[in-house]
Amino acid sequence: MLRYVVRRLMWAVPILVGISLISFLMIHMAPGGPISVGTDLNPKATAETRARLEAYYGLDQPIHVQYWRWLSRMARLDFGASFSPDGRPVAEKIRERIPITLTINVLSMGLIFLVAIPLGVYSAVRKGSLFDRISTVTVFTGFSIPTFWLALLLMILFGVKLRWLPISGIASLDYGSLGAMGKLADRARHLLLPVLLAGFTGLAGMSRYMRSNMLEVIRQDYIASARAKGLPERKVVFRHAMRNAVLPVITILGLSVPDLLGGSVIFETIFSIPGMGQLFYQGVMSRDYPLIMGILTIGAFLTLIGNLLADVGYALADPRIRPE
Amino acid sequence: MNGSEGIWRDFLRRLLRNPLAVAGGAVILFLFLVAAFPHLFTSQNPDRIDVASILRPPSAAHPLGTDDLGRDVLARMVYGARVSLKVGFIAVGIATVIGLVIGLLAGFHGGRVDAVLMRFVDIMLCFPTFFLILAAIAFLSPSIVIIMAVIGLTGWMGVARLVRAETLSLKERDFVAAARAQGAGTARIVFRHILPNALAPILVAATLGVAGAILTESALSFLGIGVQPPTPSWGNILTTGKNYIAFAWWLSLFPGLAILFTVLGYNLLGEGIRDAVDPRLKGR
């Protein structure tokens, strides 16, 4: 098992290099650039100023030289400095933003697990029943609804009309003066809507997957024999069928990392949450190349780690699956 | 030929027995009608600005109200249906063609070609796709062509994996060996024997893909880089609605519902097709 993990980690290096190369080419070959964002509307900016800025950021070099410089810096885990006026290290900016994005995603993932597994099991057992139909339509509604639209409706309802929940940010104005429990409660109130929303819109994948696994397992011979020896149906469903059906769900975890990260752009923009999605959006709009490259690389890295954890977890949980 | 007709009739019968899939299909059929004959659903010009009636609530003259420039919302939604369909179908068309070519090449040739192509798929799957779409469209300036191309170019990996898996298993089957023994060339084997058998899962993936593409366009609109006005799209009507949500509810409610029902329709239809082509899971 250890050898397998080491091999997978070594394999991650060429994948990351491939991803960074594609991103780098796409970003740098697109028309326009960070210099024109700042100077196009500025009548005082002469061609000379532009050239100086380009040289300052190293953008005057041929693209392969620029990429090589970036890559050799990355090899030393140096993400470079942001192009934004504050010029702070990209690594620092990302490190500030990552915890809140991960918190929201982990919480909503937990919520999805808690709801999707029983929902999928029950839908499969009562396939075609009214419950199955209603839960199918409900999870597909979550999957089909424009996230920001639902977010707006909920903000209007709970934030503006009922005034139950704050509508933006992650802390109240008096956050600093609250005690430890007060701080926790305040943070929870701010994160409640985003987490519920991410959970609802992400429910479909997991619960449908659980449902079809369950349908598949129920047809197996060992279920027939469990029934034949007279076990009560409850035991057959929860002991024999569910345990086997839930295992492959672990693999979905790893695969959903890119979707969760992508969704965070929308959530964080609409709820003004200072996370990685919002940072990426700002970076794209101001063409902050080092920042964009840093976030894409980190995102890909998180995805690779997610996939690895999922595969290892699956192998540990199911003795039939052993990596060669 | 008769045998395959029977299979399709069976498939249709199973699909029509599924009420959710039928409802989804009906929504999409209706949408096609709207997109094909917009003048039957509205007599108004979607681009006519009327400063005398800005942000009017629904009335007899404007059944779904007017927007911030006094344009008729119903007319903009009717013509916006075309944009949504176009984005969905062309983006998914691009993704399906790329996925088919890569999947067939990898599955049919195997060996080194397969290894290289699948590593490329692995790399593409590790991208946080929405980040990539966002960056690409923001840099290349948002136009409907760019949006369709970028969504298509970042969404083919699922189809590629699926086609590869189908090809790998189909090419070992007896009927393919029989065709080869009779002297069928690669092209004939691929187009006559492998593709038709791999059609069903591709159809499911494509149906679900259209739903995803429409949602992605609306999310891009929300961030200001979707289909740009004055071209009406549901996403950009909704985005205008967002700015006036406190006092012009109709401007966000109707386009939001239109997106929801359309995407839901595609998803339910896709799921219905999956069930109908996989009779193992049905009839219990």
On whether any CB of chain B is under 8 Å from the CB of A140, the answer is yes
- Tell the burial category of A252 from Cβ atoms under 10 Å away from its Cβ (0-12, 13-18, 19+): middle
Of B20, B128, B218, the CB nearest to A258: B128
pLDDT at A83: 83
A70: which residues sit within 8 A by CB, 6+ positions away? A20, A24, A80, A290, A293
pLDDT digits (tens, 9 = 90+) for B10-60: 888 888 888 889 999 999 999 999 998 988 888 888 888 888 877 888 888
In this predicted structure, what is the pLDDT of residue B160? Answer: 94
Query: What's the mean pLDDT when you consider all of chain B?
Result: 86
Q: Contacts for A125-131 with beta carbons within 8 Å, 24 or more apart?
A: A125/A214, A125/A218, A125/A237, A127/A215, A127/B284
Which one of B18, B127, B131 makes the best mutation probe of the A interface by having the most chain A beta carbons within 10 Å? Answer: B131
In chain A, what residues touch B119 (CB-CB under 8 Å)?
14-15, 18
Q: What share of chain A is helix, strand, coil (3-state, %, to 5)?
A: 75, 0, 25
Q: Which residues of chain A neighbour B127 with C-beta distances below 8 Å?
A: 19, 22-23, 258, 296, 299-300, 303
Q: What is the pLDDT of residues B224-252, one digit of tens each?
A: 888 888 888 898 898 888 888 778 888 88
Q: Which residues does chain B have within 8 Å of residue A22's beta carbon, measured at their own beta carbons?
A: 123, 127
Tell whether A144 is within 8 A of chain B (Cβ): yes
Determine, for residues B135 and A263 on separate chains, whether the beta-carbon distance falls below 8 Å: no
Contacts of B164 (CB under 8 A, 6+ apart): B102, B103, B104, B106, B107, B114, B118
Distance CA B272, CA B6 (A): 19
CB contact under 8 A, B135 and A145: no
What is the pLDDT at residue B91?
A: 95
Rounded to whole angstroms, how far apart are CA atoms B82 and A259?
Answer: 27
Q: Taking CB atoms and an 8 Å limit, are B135 and A143 in contact across chains? A: no
Peptide bond into A258 cis (omega under 30): no
Q: What backbone torsions phi and psi does residue A243 show, to the nearest 5 degrees?
A: -55, -40
Nearby residues of B241 by Cβ (< 8 Å), 6 or more positions away = B67, B248, B250, B251, B252, B253, B255, B256
User: So what's the pLDDT on residue B264?
Assistant: 94
Contact state of B139 with A31 under an 8 Å Cβ cutoff: yes
**Of B119, B141, B238, which has the smallest distance from its Cβ to A146's Cβ?**
B238
For chain A, say whether B128 makes contact (Cβ under 8 Å): yes
Asked if pLDDT for residue A233 goes beyond 60, the answer is yes
pLDDT digits (tens, 9 = 90+) for B208-229: 899 999 999 888 988 888 888 8
Position A40 scores a pLDDT of: 65
Question: Measuring CA to CA, how many Å separate A37 from each of A285, B4, B34, B275?
Answer: 9, 59, 41, 51
Residue B1 has pLDDT above 50, yes or no: no
For residue A39, what pLDDT is reported?
Answer: 65
3-state secondary structure (DSSP) of residue A41? coil
Residue pointed to by tokens 């903000």: A155
Q: Number of H helices and number of E strands within chain A?
A: 15, 0
| Tally of CA atoms within 13 A in the half-sphere of B8 that contains its CB | 8
A75 touches chain B (CB under 8 A): no
Q: Does B238 touch chain A (CB under 8 A)?
A: yes
Contact across the interface for B140 and A30, Cβ inside 8 Å? yes
The owner of tokens 């490259």 is A293
Q: How far is CA B217 from CA A152, A160, A188, A202, A312, in A?
A: 17, 28, 31, 18, 36
**pLDDT at B196 > cutoff 90:** no
Q: Is the pLDDT of residue A9 over 80?
A: yes
Is the separation of the CB atoms in A235 and A72 below 8 Å? no
More confidently predicted of A48 and B270: B270
Q: Which of B54, B216, B192 is CA-nearest to residue B133?
A: B216
Interface of B with A in 43-102 (CB under 8 A): none
**Complex ipTM:** 0.82
Q: Please tell me the distance from the alpha carbon of residue B147 to that of residue A206, in angstroms, as a whole number.
A: 28
* Residue scoring higher pLDDT (A208 or B278): A208
Residue B93 clears pLDDT 90, i.e. is over it = yes
Alpha carbon distance A286, A288 (integer Å): 6
Q: How many Cα atoms occupy the beta-carbon half-sphere of A184 within 13 Å?
A: 2
What is the C-alpha separation between B80 and B99, in angstroms, rounded? 28
Give mean pLDDT, residues A102-121.
91
Residue A215 has φ and ψ, to the nearest 5°, of -60, -40
Q: A173 in contact with B at a CB cutoff of 8 Å?
A: no
The answer to which of A56-60, A146-150, B161-165 has the lowest mean pLDDT is: A56-60
How many A-B residue pairs are in contact by the CB < 8 A criterion?
144
Residue B244, Cβ density class (10 Å: 0-12 exposed, 13-18 middle, ≥19 buried) = middle
* Per-residue confidence band for A38, with pLDDT thresholds at 50, 70 and 90: low
Question: Mapping DSSP to helix (H, G, I), strand (E, B) and coil, where does residue B72 land?
Answer: strand
**According to the per-residue pLDDT averaged within each range, which of A71-80, A99-108, B1-10, B39-48 is highest?**
A99-108
Q: Token match 């909503």: residue?
A: A108
Say yes or no to pLDDT of A166 above 50.
yes
Q: Touching check for A81 and chain B: CB below 8 Å?
A: no
Helix residue ranges, H only, B110-156: 111-126, 129-140, 144-153
Rounded to whole angstroms, how far apart are CA atoms A34 and A54? 9
| Å between B177 CA and nearest CA of chain A | 31
With CB atoms and an 8 Å threshold, state whether B131 touches A262.
Answer: yes
Query: If you measure CA to CA, which chain A residue comes closest to B127?
Result: A300
Mind telling me how many Å the CA of A133 is from chain B's nearest CA?
Answer: 8
* Percentage above 70 pLDDT, chain A: 96
Instruction: Please report residues of A whose CB lies closer than 8 A to that of B209.
Output: none
- Residue numbers of A between 5 and 34 with CB closer than 8 Å to B: 14-15, 18-19, 22-23, 26-27, 30-32
Q: What is the pTM of this model?
A: 0.86
Average pLDDT over residues A270-284: 90
* Interface check B115 vs A, CB under 8 A: no
Cβ distance of B281 and A212 shorter than 8 Å: yes
**CA-derived radius of gyration, chain B:** 22
Residue B63 predicted with pLDDT over 80: yes
